[in-house]
Amino acid sequence: MSAGVQTPVDPAPVDPTLVGTTAATTDGQRSRIPWRFIGGRVLFYVFTLWAAITLNFFLPRMLKGDAVQAFMARSRGQVTPEAEQALRTLFGLDKSVPLWQQYLGYWDNLLHGDLGISLSTGLAPVGEAIASALPWTLALVGVATIISFLVGTAVGAVIGWRRGSRLEALVPVTTFLGTIPYFWLGLIFIAVFSTALGWFPAGHAYEIGVEPGWNGPFISEVVSHAVLPVVTIVIVSLGGWVLGMRNMMLTVLDEDYITVAQAKGMPDRRVLWRYAARNAVLPQIQSFALAIGFIVGGTLVMEMVFSYPGIGLLLLNATNAKDYALMQGIFLVLVLAVLVANVIADIAYAVLDPRTRQTEA
């Protein structure tokens, strides 16, 4: 049988081992900053923000009775007619305006920074109430998250490195700590360290009578008042980091490049931190973004327990007073803050993991 030959056109001798693979066909630039990766993530966050805002808009309209009526009854005529009208518009109880127009009006207000009127704080604008409380919460969450992440990841790395040692016992211990409800632990700490031992103050961010500002007494007050809340959050959230890091370390340590590094004679400490931990921490950064939502939730409850003047306390009071405008405003601000934190985490991940730059090619 004669061979039906389709001769390829290229004249140069072909090395069969390089031919026909996908590596030969892809051939692009590698950009330093993975814009596409970050851009995709930002797009997603914008979508999430939109979803949260829309959810916020529809919730009261789906489920409520007439909240304004109830409020009017409670406040017994201390509300001006204009304020009442504003409230009705806010809750969509103004039947004269069609739904889609309310939606657009809502967005219009938002973009002007108008989150509505807070019923429980003397009819002040919601934005103001939140603005005075937000910094406290951010400080608490920020400090607690960073400490928890650093300590937890380091401990997890060491436990993973020393497989089978007695340190392994730390893992169930930290996981147990993670199942303790935040608020309960906080109360226990107050009972033990504050009331019984008197080491730390029992609540608030600073004592009344101390002048707020960048001065020594104030700062020391703030720090001493922050210790118990921060420690509580750190203890409870530590377990997740430890477990995750230890599991990743076990996976990474099985890789061949670790064996090569050790065989080259690299000191153990260097292999542990520069090679193993550095690769194992990458998925941790990804889960950082998810952990933030969890930590925020815990911090809110912490503030309620410690009467810390942050958003959590504000939310608690708003919930009890059925101040829906304030509640929704807080929710939006929280979502925004979490999304910003996510973007930062994504950028950090993109910078640290060279593989994200690969996808640009």
Partner 1 sequence: MTTLEFQHVTKVYNVRGSGQLKALDDVSFSLTSHQTIGLVGQSGSGKSTIAKILTQLERPTSGTVLLDGKPVPTFGKGLRRYRQQLRMVFQDPFASLNPYHSIRHHVERPLRLDRVVPPAEVDAEVRRLLERVRLDADAVIDRRPHELSGGQRQRVAIARALASRPSVLVADEPVSMLDVSIRLGVLALLSELQREEGLGVLYITHDLATARHFSDEIMVLNQGRIVERGAADDVILDPQDPYTRELRAASPDPEKHFQELAAQNAGGAR
Partner 2 sequence: MTTPAEKTVIIHPVGAGAPETAAVLTDGAGSLPPVRGDRTFWTQLRASTAMFSNAKSAAGLIILGVFVLVALLAPVIAPADPNAQDLTATLEPPSWRHLLGTTHIGQDVFSQLVYGTRGVLVVGFLATIMATVVAIAVGVTAGYLRGWKSESLSALSNVFLVIPGLPLMIIVASQFEDPPLWVIAAVLGFTGWAWGARVLRAQTMSLRNRDFIQAARANGEPLHRIILVEMLPNLMAIIASSFVGTMTAAVLGLTTLAFIGVIPVSNLNWGTILFWAQQNNAFPDYWWWYVPAGLCIALLGVALSLVNFGIDEYVNPRLRSAGERARLMKRKGMNANAAVTQVRSVPGADPTNERSDA
CB of 162 or CB of 278, closer to partner 2: 162
Which residues from 60-99 bind partner 2, rule CB under 8 A?
Answer: 60, 62-64
Query: Can you tell me the distance from the alpha carbon of 66 to that of 230, in angstroms, rounded to the nearest whole number?
Result: 40
| Residue 28 makes contact with partner 1 by CB under 8 A | yes
Which residues from 161-220 bind partner 2, rule CB under 8 A?
Answer: 161-165, 168, 172, 175-176, 178-185, 187-188, 190-192, 195-196
Part in contact with partner 1 (CB under 8 A); list of ranges 5-13, 105-113, 270-278, 328-336: 5-13
| Residue 27 makes contact with partner 1 by CB under 8 A | yes
Residue 326 interacts with, from partner 1, partner 2, none (CB under 5-8 Å by kind): none
Which residues from 5-44 bind partner 2, rule CB under 8 A?
Answer: 44
Task: With beta carbons less than 8 A apart as the criterion, state whether 228 and 190 touch.
Answer: yes
CB of 72 or CB of 222, closer to partner 2: 72
Please, is 151 exposed, middle or buried when counting C-beta atoms within 10 Å of its C-beta (0-12, 13-18, 19+)?
middle
| Residue 78 makes contact with partner 1 by CB under 8 A | no
Residue 1 interacts with, from partner 1, partner 2, none (CB under 5-8 Å by kind): partner 1
Closest approach of partner 2 to the CB of residue 16, in Å: 19
Task: With beta carbons less than 8 A apart as the criterion, state whether 46 and 53 touch.
Answer: no
- For the window 244-263, what string marks contact with partner 2 as x by the rule CB under 8 A? ---x--xx-xx---xxxxxx
CB of 19 or CB of 223, closer to partner 1: 19
Length of the chain: 361
Query: Can you tell me the distance from the alpha carbon of 91 to that of 80, in angstroms, rounded to the nearest whole number?
Result: 17
- For the window 34-53, what string marks contact with partner 1 as x by the rule CB under 8 A? --x-----------------
Scanning the structure block, which residue is given the tokens 């409230």? 87
Written as six digits, the tokens of 171 are 């893992």
Dihedral angle sign, alpha carbons of residues 205, 211, 213, 217: negative
Q: Which residues of 298-334 are buried (b: 16+ CB within 10 A; e: fewer)?
A: bbbbbbbbbebbbbbbbbbbbeebebbbbbbbbbbbb
Task: With beta carbons less than 8 A apart as the criterion, state whether 178 and 239 touch.
Answer: yes
CB of 13 or CB of 296, closer to partner 2: 296
| Residue 1 makes contact with partner 1 by CB under 8 A | yes
